[in-house]
Structure 1
Amino acid sequence: MSSIEKLRWCFFEAPRKFSAEAMELHCCRKGKSFERSITLKKQWGGLLIYVLMVVVSLTVAGQQQAFAQAPAGGAPAQTPAAAAPSTPQPLPNPSMTAPLSTAAPSHTFNAGPLGTVAITGILSGIGLVQSNYTLGFDKPTEWDVSNAQIFLQKTSGWFQFYLQAGAYSLPDLGVPYIRSVEALSSGLPTAVGDFYGPFPQGYVKLVKGNFFAEVGALPTLIGGEYTFSFENMNVERGILWNQENAVNRGVEVGGTFKKLTLAFTWNDGFYSNVYNWLWGSAAYAFNSSNTLSFVAGGNVAHTAPTNNPFATSTALNNESIYNVIYTYSHESLMITPYFQYTHVGANPAIGIGGSGSTTGGAVLLNYNFKHGISLAARPEYITSSSGLPVTDPAALSLIYGPGSSAFAFTATPAYQKGGFFLRGDVSVVHARNFTPGF
């Protein structure tokens, strides 16, 4: 029985003067015996606030207090002080989970008929040192801009919108690192060029009471982790995320009914530009601390291979996927266990010779200590099965070869002070029953 074990260390650092705030190819681990790789990553980053494309300033998402002094006895009453403005609240997008949080925007501008528009952003870098990298594709050392994005959004009124633009990378466990941008002469793939382009997300949102409709490039409803590194508990996405889509183009409608929130979407799945995916989500909030969600959907037809194998895996773009996600959040503790099942049916006409499925689970945990220090952890396990014998050349590989499985554990200590943060990933991935070359 062969196995692979991968150990990663990853660090995230923010500059001092900025405000807070999947590809089809699997990492080749050639060899029949135990292998170990060590990766050291350093990231510099922080969420930015831009002012009319000229000024970059810092905001601290802290509580503001106003104090009013009562008049002394016998003194004439003074004019009451004006009520202090309400504390600015973080914007709804991009979505963030613990421990990092977006800064409440201090800068907005009047966009004429569009109304008041807020502008925020992020700038971060990543450094990488690793062994057991993929020859001809990965590198033993790497420095890159992991995020250089701005976010424009209007969040009030019946007409709203969100636009995200810039450069990004998608660091992920178990697969080679793809740079955000690359010299054209290199011939290497890039995250911006081979995934979702310089405008990865953007949509128009129409709101009426508790109902909404969105049209555009939408963040997925699938899974327990978001797409970009700064949105998640950990710097890198996990091994369950490799089975999920990240961005899809389409239409989404939904609404809130007391404690129940529903959403339904028709979209192009794994960014295929073929609109034959349907899925829905239901989330029930028992109280402010406990929420249970169910997400299900998939390709209702069949989609042939595209010319974008990085964002649009042929097998995954023809799958069905199911999630059960529970979230507990109270004071300093957040726990999100989730279960995931996927199935891909056989379809030799589009190159899928045999069926396959995956079953996996993960627990996302974060605890905030005092003085801006926090610790996140993510144990996860995934296993796969094949409808054909694993020795059959047509057997479907969904992880590291037909019938393979993997365990991963990630720990992420973090420090945040106002708009600045420093965090690091330490993770291990152990694969079993893998096929050399996957």
Structure 2
Amino acid sequence: MASVLGIPVAQASLNLPNPINVDAGPLGKIGVQGVASAMGFWQDNPQGTPGTLGAKYAGATITNGMVIVQKSSGLVQFYAQAGAYGFPTLAASLAGANPTSAINDFGALPVAYLKIAPSSNYSVEIGKLPTLIGAEGGFTYQNINVERGLLWDMEPIVSRGIQFNASAGPVSASLSLNDGYYSNRYNVLSGIVTYAINGANTVSFYADGPLGKVRTSANNAAYSAIGTVSQIYGLEYEYSSGPWMIEPYFQYMHTPKSVQAGVPHSFDNYGGSILLNYSYNSDWSMGARVEYLEVGGPLGYGLNLHSVASTLTDLPADSHAWSLTITPTYQAGDFFARAELSYVTASTPTGTGFAGRSGLAKNQVRGIVETGLLF
């Protein structure tokens, strides 16, 4: 389940070619890769401030303009990923890869870390690290689907900190002390343990939570102070054999009462997802995702948490949401193209919704075409 980045993402339908090796003098051989991609979209219930990309019924934007440089051998290794990127997500307003969106959270160098690897079974990483939490990666090319899912929307994406990795036989584990949702206070502990049952079946458990008080100001919590104060637990199973990849997972999130974070009552979010990918041949594959998410806030006071819940899920409190996403993909050499159709429906309290210009729509359909080059 672990990718080259050391995160538990499901096997993507896109395959980056092997890095181009460059002689970097005293650094030795380093590998260079790149991703250049864009998407066009249509949606029936736009979200977002008038004049922004998310408020349009149809539009286009860059999804990746990334260069990856890495050294993956020897005692001292490194990984650096630079460029523009976007995070299209179900039930959330679409934003382009520009300085006013995701790049503003993590900068033009969203992932960068130094790795010390005394052996193949033990290593330490320090820097801007991809999260250990969840089954979907941060960037579109890492995933079966173009849009990330409802459960992904609750999770951290990139955290700054230190991570320890170890493996012995069928068991591998990573433990990270980091700043959670990019808060710049290093008191969040994340971990994952994976057991390879055999060559086709693996099971993983992950957890994430703060060890003390967290920063909550907009300047110190890049995208969710509420997330940094919360705890997340997840259980994943993956079957991968022949043309099939099937990965169900369950995720639970608890947000305690916090005067500091502006949470008047504790609440819970939980849900489950099934990710599937079938490869017809070396060029064509079909990805799919089915999800259910319950957004916390018991009836009686949940509406008071509407804004709090939405910072985590883009859905109002006391709501129940389902999603279905289908993504056929074509890749030949460096070129790829994929189409996607997604549908989200939510049962929400009277007078609330999650989509549409009024914000009261309870359903959303999106069609996306993403194409580009992997090199």
Common fold by TM > 0.5:
yes
Structure 1 segments of 4+ aligned residues over 6 angstroms from their partners: none
Q: Deviations over 1:119-145 (max 9, x none)?
A: 111101122232321242423232222
Measured in 2, the distance between the counterparts of 1:257 and 1:394 equals: 44
Residue 197 (structure 1) aligned to one of 107, 123, 140 = 107
- The CA distance in 2 between the partners of 1:191 and 1:391, in whole Å, is 29
Could you tell me how far 1:390 is from its partner in structure 2?
Answer: 3.2
Deviation at 1:371, TM superposition (A): 5.4
Alignment partner, residue 177 of structure 1: 94
Out of 191, 199, 210, which is 1:299 matched to? 210
8 A Cα contact 1:354 1:387, kept in partner:
no
- Aligned partner of residue 329 in structure 2, secondary structure: strand
Shift in Å at residue 354 of structure 1? Answer: 1.1
Distance 2:191 2:36 in 1: 33
Between 1:341-350 and 1:211-220, the stretch displaced more is 341-350
Give the Å deviation of 1:349: 3.2
2:9 is aligned with 1:92: no
Which of 207, 217, 236 matches 2:117? 207
**Residue 334 of structure 2 corresponds to residue 419 of structure 1:** yes
With over 3 angstroms needed to count, the CA separation of the structure-2 counterparts of 1:433 and 1:403, relative to structure 1, is: same
User: Deviation string for 1:208-266 (max 9, x for gaps)?
Assistant: 12110000000100000000000000011000001101100000001111110011100
From the CA coordinates, give the structure whose radius of gyration is larger.
1
TM-score by length of 2: 0.86
Distance 2:211 2:31 in 1: 38
Distance 1:391 1:278 in 2: 28
Q: Structure 1 residues 153, 231: CA separation in 2 closer, same or farther (over 3 Å shift)?
A: same
Counterparts of 1:391 and 1:103, CA distance in 2: 48
Structure 2 Cα separation of the partners of residues 114 and 371 of structure 1: 35
Question: In the alignment, what sits opposite 2:176?
Answer: 265
Normalising by structure 1, we get a TM-score of 0.74
Out of 12, 27, 31, which is 1:114 matched to? 27
What residue is the counterpart of 1:123 in the other structure? 36
Report Cα offsets for 1:91-134 as digits up to 9, x if no partner: 935977232111013x3122222211111111011222323212
User: Which residue number in structure 2 is paired with residue 146 of structure 1?
Assistant: 63
Which residue number in structure 1 is paired with residue 148 of structure 2?
237
Q: What root-mean-square deviation, in Å, do the aligned CA atoms of Structure 1 and Structure 2 show?
A: 2.0
Structure 1, unaligned runs of 5 or more = 1-90, 183-188
Asked whether the 8 Å contact 2:181–2:221 carries over to 1, the reply is no
Length, aligned pairs only: 340
Change (3 A) 1:382 1:394: closer
What is aligned with 1:65? none
Alignment of 1:403 onto 2:318: yes
Contact 1:390–1:402, Cα closer than 8 Å, also in 2: no
The share of aligned pairs that are identical, in percent, is 36
* Distance (Å, rounded) in 2 between the aligned partners of 1:206 and 1:306: 33
- Range that drifts further, 426-435 or 391-400: 391-400
Residue 267 of structure 2 contacts residue 296 of structure 2 at CA under 8 Å; is this kept in 1? yes
1:104 maps to which of 4, 18, 25: 18
CA shift in 2, pair 1:296/1:394, >3 Å: closer
Measure how far apart 1:388 and its partner are.
7.3
Distance 2:284 2:305 in 1: 49
Distance in 2 between the 1:401 and 1:218 partners? 30
Give the 5 Å matches for 1:36-435: 92-93=4-5, 97-105=11-19, 107-134=20-47, 135-136=49-50, 137=52, 138-140=54-56, 141-181=58-98, 189-193=100-104, 195-209=105-119, 210-308=121-219, 311-370=222-281, 372-386=283-297, 389-390=300-301, 393=304, 396-397=308-309, 398-399=312-313, 400-434=315-349, 435=352
Whole-angstrom CA distance in 1 between matches of 2:303 and 2:87? 32
Maintained 8 Å contact 2:79/2:114: yes
> What is the CA–CA distance in structure 2 between the aligned matches of 1:390 and 1:133, rounded to whole Å?
28
Q: Partners of 1:416 and 1:378 in 2: how far apart?
A: 20
Checking the alignment, whether the CA contact within 8 Å between 2:184 and 2:220 is kept in structure 1 is no
Q: Aligned to 1:347, what secondary structure does the other structure show?
A: coil
